[in-house]
Amino acid sequence: MPVAADDTAPIDPALYRRDDVRPVLAAHDIATLYRLLRDDAGLTQRTIAARTGQSQSEVSEILAGRRVLAYDLLVRIADGLGIPRELMGLSHGDRGAPTLDGDTVAEPPEGVTAQMKRRSVVGALSVAVVGTPLVRFSEQLVELALPPAGEPVPSRLDMSHVHTVRTATGRLRDLARQHGGQAELFGFAARYYTGWLDAPGTEVVKARFAAALSELHTETGWCCYDSGVDGMGYFTRAARLSDEAGDTYGIVNAAYQAGATMVRSGHPEDALKCFQIGQFQLAGHTKTRPVSFGADDPRMSTVAARLDMVSAAAYALMDYPKQARDHLAKVRDGQIRDAFARAAVDLNAAMTLRDLGRLDAAESCAQTAARGFGEHHGRGVALAGLVRAELHVRAGEPRGTAMAKTAMESVSALRSVSLRRVYLPPLADALEARRGSDAEQLARMARQVAATRA
């Protein structure tokens, strides 16, 4: 039994370096962190509240399962408890930026923070849409995506090169949807094909090629998130490429996908800026230079629906239920032509309804999503399974534990880091809150899966 600590006694810094604690910090699993401090360091709820500047009732709510997403609160918790910020991905420390998978990536330019990278995306999108940045951002961050790999470029660009990039993007996208991750392959493709920009070509071909390359960079940014590495630079480059091409769909798609990663990374405020810029573009309120193409792209209605859906998710996380419900109500099935996109919207609706406390409606949407993804979209099926299992466990239904075990097995077979680090902990929390040895054993298993490398 640990000795109770007072409000000022230091916490042994070795605790935060333990193998079982580092994944907890990296995943921002504050509920588990507080339990560890209670059980291993003897801190009471009152002590934790005093050190982190929270009320004791807030600490109690977090221990009961409330997630902490706000950056400023995470910083306050880290500083108040003496946790090195780099262990929680809140700064880069001496080894470079930590990834969700426990590795590090190259150190960005001196003084560059994760918030600055998000702002660079917002700034590039707003320049593309209205011709001026709506936030202050450094031009230094516009090209954070890795430079071209240096392979030979074509002697001249033609439409076959445009089709090559689009085909490569589609095949890599299918691979990511089936298995998760794939940042390495996407990153190589983005670097390789970016080198082709130096080849001469007609104005029309160059514009089409830039639009195809923008979509590849957008997908690369998303796969970086799913692989647990920083991909904001790819979204920034995607916005710039779409702007150069005059491709309205590419701008809206980059706004949607960049914002979606920000929502699930715990930055809904920045995400909403991206979504609002995308919706501004959809409404036709753009800078005077006309777009070359994309306004009549058949995918525009789908991306419009997805913008509303992820806007609802952001508002729900920010505890604005009315705004979340309003955006949910805007989504209509007729808008969404692609089967995968329809399933993804259903799944996002399930998570938003869960966050709003509407568990029955959430379960129905998650079940519909699971059917919609089909056998070739393993990551989507696994995520739908995680959400459904969490809902059934929270409701106390007998089959909840069996569903949890199946969901964890599905996640274990994939390369998705985000499923392990972002979406699995809520299921572990729900299992820990449920009595019984089976639930406790599964909760430990969930923590182990979350801590293992993809």
Per-residue pLDDT of the chain (454 residues), as tens digits, is 344 445 566 788 889 888 788 878 877 789 889 999 998 888 999 999 989 988 888 898 888 877 776 666 777 898 889 998 777 766 534 433 334 433 334 444 455 577 777 777 777 777 776 565 555 544 444 444 444 445 577 899 999 999 999 999 999 999 999 999 999 889 888 888 988 888 899 999 999 999 999 999 999 999 999 998 888 889 999 999 998 888 889 999 999 999 999 998 888 898 999 898 888 888 875 554 444 555 567 788 888 888 999 999 999 988 899 999 999 888 876 677 788 888 988 999 999 999 898 999 999 999 999 999 887 799 999 999 999 999 999 988 889 999 999 999 999 999 999 999 888 888 988 898 887 778 888 888 888 888 877 6
Q: Is residue 356 helix, strand or coil?
A: coil
Distance CA 271, CA 310 (A): 9
Span(s) in the chain for CATH 1.10.260.40 = 13-98
* End-to-end Cα distance, the chain: 35
Distance CA 317, CA 355 (A): 7
Fold of 13-98: 434 Repressor (Amino-terminal Domain) (1.10.260)
Q: What global pTM score does this model have?
A: 0.71
Q: Is residue 379 helix, strand or coil?
A: helix
DSSP assignment of 190-257, as one string? HHHHHGGGGS---HHHHHHHHHHHHHHHHHHHHHHHHHTS--HHHHHHHHHHHHHHTBHHHHHHHHHH
Distance CA 43, CA 54 (A): 14
